[in-house]
Structure 1
Amino acid sequence: MVLLTAKIMQRTAVFVTFGGLVTSLITTFLPLWKTMNSDLNEVENWYSGLWHMCLYTEEVGVQCKAYDSLLGLPADLRISRVLMLVSVCTGALALLVALPGLDGVRARLDRCGTRRRFLILCGVLCWVSGISTLAPVSVVAYATVVEFWDKGLPDVVPRWEYGEAMFSGWFGGLALLTGGTLFFVAVCMADYDLRTATVADVPRVTRGAQQYRKTEVL
C-alpha cells in the first residue's frame, strides 16, 4: 500500500469528480431523457429532454424544437432544470475549491489546516452536486414509470420510456458522490500520516535531549 498515498487519492478524486461533472453537464442539455416510438408510425421516434423536444424520421433526420412556455412544462421537468443547473455549478465550484487544497500545488497555504478545510469543503460540494444530479433523474424516472403503467390511458396511446440521458445522469451523480467521498478519504489519510510522523519524531527529540544532559553532567 506504499503507492496509495494522500496525494494520489487527491488526484483520483479530482479525476472522478471531473468525469462526473462532464457527464452531468452533457446530461443536462442532452434531449434524450425520454423516448417514444408509436406503433402506428414506426419510422418516427420522439425524444424529450429538459430543454428540447426532438423528432427523428428517416427522411429528414433529427429536428429539435425548444419548449414554447416554461409554465406549460410538467412540474418534474421544471424542478429537474433547476437541480441540474445547481449540480453543474456546485460541481464546477468544487473543482475550483480543490485546486488550492491539493498537495503539490503552489499556493499561499503553508498551514496544513487550511488545505484540509479546502478539501473538506470540496467534498461537501461534490456531495451536493451528486445529490442534485441523482434527484431530478430519479424523479423523472419515477414519473415515466407511473405514466407508462397508467391503466387510465388507452393501449393505443404511445408511452414514454427511458432514454440514454437517464443512465448517464445516474452515472454522473454516482461519480460526483464517489469523488466527494475520495476527498474525505484523502483528508483522513493526510491526518493519519501527520500523526504518524509526529509520533515518530517525539522519541528522537527526547533521546537527543537525554544525551545532551548526560554530556553536560560529565
Structure 2
Amino acid sequence: SMGLRKKVDLNMVFLTTKIMQRTALFVTSGGLITSLITAFLPFWKTMNSDLNEVENWFSGLWHTCLYTEEVGIQCKAYESILGLPMDLQISRVLMSVSIGTGGLALLAAFPGLEGVQMCMGRPGLKRQLVILAGVLSWVSGLTTLAPVSIVAYTTLVEFWDEGFPDVMPRWEYGEAMFSGWFGGLALVIGGTLFFVAVCMGDFDQRPPSVPNSPQVKHRTKHYLKTEVL
C-alpha cells in the first residue's frame, strides 16, 4: 500500500494544472517556430530534370531557387504577386494568419499561466486567457495545415497530369511540406493541451460538497487509523 500511495503522489505531482499549462505553452511555441520557418523556407516543392541532372529547382511561397554544384544555391523572389498560382497566393495569406494567431496565442497564454504575477487577483480572467490561447493555437494550427495540404494536393494533381509530356520534369514534395504538417499538428495539440489545463483547473476548483458526507468522513477516519498503524 505504501508503494501504491507513492505512485499516486507522483502522478499528482506530475499532472498538475501548472505543468499542463507549461507543456501546452512549450508545444505551441515549438509548433509556431516550425510554422514560421516553414513559411519562409524555399523548399515547399522540388524538381530535378533528367535532361540536366546537375540542376535542382526549389520553390517556396516567396522565392524560387536553383541549385548547381558550381555556383551553389541562388534564389530569386517572385516578380508579380498576381502572376502567382492561386494555391501559392492562398498559402501566403493563410501562413501569415497562422503566424499572427500563433503569436497572439502565446501572448494570451503567458499572463494566464499559474504562478505568473499578472492578473493575480482575477482567476476568472486567467481562465479566459488560457481558453483564448487554446482557440488561437487551434486557428494557428489549422491555418498552417490548410496551405500545406492545398500545395500538396495541387502538386500531386500536376505530377500525375497526363497532359504533360513524359520528358518534362515535374514538381515533387519538398522538406518544408513535412515540417509544415508537423508544425500545424503541434499547434493543434498545444491548443488541445490548453483546454485540458482549463478542465484540470476547473476540477481543482470544484466546491468540496461531496467530501462532507458522513460515509466519506467515516472512511477517511478509517484510513487515518490504518496509516497510523
Output the TM-score relative to the length of structure 1: 0.90
Q: Secondary structure at the match of 1:91?
A: helix
Matches within 5 A, 1:83-122: 83-122=94-133
Report whether the alignment pairs 1:81 with 2:85. Answer: no
**8 Å CA contact retained: 2:43, 2:60:** yes
CA deviation after TM superposition for structure 1 residue 75, in Å: 0.2
Q: 2:208 matched to which residue of 1? A: 198
- 1:24-45 deviations in whole A, cap 9, x for unaligned? 0000000000000000000000
User: Can you list the C-alpha shifts for 1:141-198, whole angstroms capped at 9, x where unaligned?
Assistant: 0000000000000000000000000000000000000000000000000100111x63
> How many residue pairs end up in the alignment?
204
Specify the alignment match of 1:144 in structure 2: 155
1:57 corresponding residue in structure 2: 68
Structure 1 match to 2:41: 30
1:22 and 1:10 map into 2 onto residues whose CA distance is 18
Unpaired runs of at least 5, structure 2: 1-10, 218-229
Name the structure 1 match of 2:223: none
Say if 2:105 and 2:133, in contact at 8 Å, map to a contact too.
yes
Match of 1:159 in 2: 170
Map of 1:177 onto structure 2: 188
Q: Deviations over 1:22-77 (max 9, x none)?
A: 00000000000000000000000000000000000000000000001001100000
Q: Distance in 2 between matches of 1:108 and 1:7?
A: 16
Aligned-residue identity in percent: 72
> CA offset at residue 200 of structure 1?
6.7
Contact preservation (8 Å) 2:43, 2:174: yes
TM-score norm. by structure 2 comes to: 0.86
Which of these residues, 127, 146, 151, is aligned with residue 138 of structure 2? 127
Quote the Cα distance in structure 2 between the aligned partners of 1:95 and 1:150. Answer: 42
Q: CA deviation at 1:110?
A: 1.4
TM-fit CA distance, 1:109: 3.6
What are the Cα deviations for residues 70-123 of structure 1, in whole angstroms up to 9, with x where unaligned?
011000000000000000010000000001100000013413211110010110
Report the counterpart of residue 210 of structure 1 in structure 2: none
What is the distance in 2 between the residues matched to 1:13 and 1:130? 13
